[in-house]
């Protein structure tokens, strides 16, 4: 019993806290975003000096993105360069917008559609 308290209980508590934080982050993005909006404009993705046209050269690691929220307000959000390339964001796509400290962060909103070939 003493072995369980000293060795296994702290590890189980750390795993539980990690799972809680990861689960809350995923659920907040998927189920409870602060705002939902539509992409109006994208930044230029290709930089002449960037490797293979990658836009990861962006200072601060984020690129500006214009989003029109469902309440008709147009805001300037930030999006990850990797999200732009991998998610293939384009004008008209739906995004979830969350406030993280003083920044508005945009991510592709989940669309529960089945893609068919």
pLDDT of residue 13: 92
**The overall pTM is greater than 0.85:** no
CB atoms within 10 A of CB 83: 18
Concatenated DSSP letters of 24-88:
HHHHHHHT--SEEEEEEE------TTSGGG--TT-GGG-EEEEEEETTS-EEEEEE-HHHHHHHT
Q: What is the pLDDT along the chain (117 residues), one digit of tens a residue?
A: 677 777 888 888 999 999 998 888 777 777 788 888 999 987 765 444 544 455 555 566 778 889 999 899 999 998 887 777 776 778 888 888 888 888 888 888 776 655 555
């Amino acid at each position: 019993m003493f072995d369980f308290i000293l060795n296994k209980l702290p590890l189980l508590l750390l795993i539980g806290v990690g799972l809680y934080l990861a689960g809350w982050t995923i659920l907040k993005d998927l189920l409870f975003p602060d705002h939902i909006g539509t992409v109006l404009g994208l930044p230029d993705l290709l930089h002449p000096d960037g490797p293979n046209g990658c836009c990861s050269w962006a200072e601060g690691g984020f690129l500006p993105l214009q989003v029109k929220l469902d309440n008709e307000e147009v805001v300037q959000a930030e999006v990850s360069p990797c999200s732009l390339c991998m998610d293939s964001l384009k004008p008209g796509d739906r995004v979830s917008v969350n406030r993280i400290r003083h920044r508005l962060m945009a991510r592709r909103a989940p669309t529960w559609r089945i893609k068919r070939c």
